[in-house]
């Protein structure tokens, strides 16, 4: 059943935004894979300037360890690695479901509004948890 109405353009825009988010996530994951496959390392500019590691030092190696299900070494590389890995998986799962569902059905305005609010609340909650747990 397809619904037509005022929300059609909003639905198409939201669907496109979700596709772009999935593309960015997949590009990020491919960056991790390529960097580790070719053993490419970049030095941290923050560490070069200030002599101490930044908050994202080791995140690429940590994500790679998470891909290999080695969460102990992932935590040693960067304590945020496991959280980032779980967040990425949750976002991919949620976005794929949205894309599959919205590709088949045109949602009524109330449902679309609810979906966008839920999406915003999930992302806000993950951001809040990240700030409170990891500073």
The model's pLDDT over 35-63, given as tens digits with 9 standing for 90+, comes to: 888 988 888 888 889 999 888 889 989 99
pTM, whole model, 2 decimals?
0.78
Each residue's pLDDT tens digit, 63-77? 999 999 999 999 999
d(CA 22, CA 99) in angstroms, rounded, equals: 10
Question: For the chain, what are the domain ranges?
Answer: 8-134
d(CA 19, CA 65) in angstroms, rounded, equals: 27
Collapsed DSSP state (helix, strand, coil) of residue 92 = helix
Q: What is the pLDDT of residue 8?
A: 57
- The average pLDDT across 115-122 equals 88
């Amino acid at each position: 059943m397809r619904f037509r109405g005022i929300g059609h353009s909003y639905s198409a825009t939201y669907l496109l935004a979700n596709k772009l988010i999935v593309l960015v996530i997949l590009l990020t994951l491919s960056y991790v894979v390529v960097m580790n496959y070719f053993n490419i390392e970049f030095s941290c500019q923050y560490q070069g300037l200030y002599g101490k590691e930044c908050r994202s030092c080791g995140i690429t190696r940590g994500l790679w360890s998470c891909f290999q299900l080695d969460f102990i070494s992932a935590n040693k590389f960067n304590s945020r690695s496991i959280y980032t890995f779980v967040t990425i998986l949750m976002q991919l799962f949620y976005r794929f479901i949205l894309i599959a569902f919205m590709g088949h059905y045109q949602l009524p305005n109330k449902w679309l509004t609810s979906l966008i609010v839920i999406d915003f609340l999930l992302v806000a909650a993950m951001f809040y948890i990240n700030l409170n747990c990891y500073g």
